[in-house]
Amino acid sequence: MVGRLKGQSPDPRRLKQKLQLVASQRPTPEPVVALEPYVFLAYAREDQTIAETLVAALRARGIAVTWDQDLVAGQNFRAHLDAMLERASAVVVIWSENVTDFVVDEAEAGKARNALVPCRTPGLPRGRVPTGFRGLHCIDVDDIGAILKALEARGLAASAPA
């Protein structure tokens, strides 16, 4: 690589090539999957505050939760998500006006395994729930009692809040 003068920015093309070379020389790590029963949380990035509140409420009751915030830089994103969805005891989805194709894909994985717990942001009309999910009973995301009941039906028993 040609040296550069102090203060000069690296050539973005060369930097990209160098990073691609380094990435190609490293084996892709296998996804780390939790061993205990857990909930996978699917939500749109714009609803992160709602998701954080739900994660905190579930964890306070002894329910293990995994979500995209648990990803580590360098992990194979799709392989990790596929592995987590495959092993999750329940997939809790938060339907909102912000829903994305990724959220729908994750919900479909949960639905296919009869592990889906559909929730919606308060006031979201039934017609805004994605096609294919409107016939499922959907609970408000702030109804923690109903969520815990649905999780218990899937083998995830809650403890008293910590």
Residue 11 is predicted with a pLDDT of: 66
Chain-centroid distance, C-alpha 28: 21
User: Per DSSP, which regions of the chain are E strands?
Assistant: 39-42, 65-66, 90-95, 116-120, 139-140
Residue 1 is predicted with a pLDDT of: 47
Running along the chain, 162 residues long, what does each successive block of 10 average in pLDDT? 52 68 52 70 95 94 85 75 91 96 96 96 92 94 95 88 64
What domains are defined for the chain? 39-152 (3.40.50.10140)
Residue 73 is predicted with a pLDDT of: 72
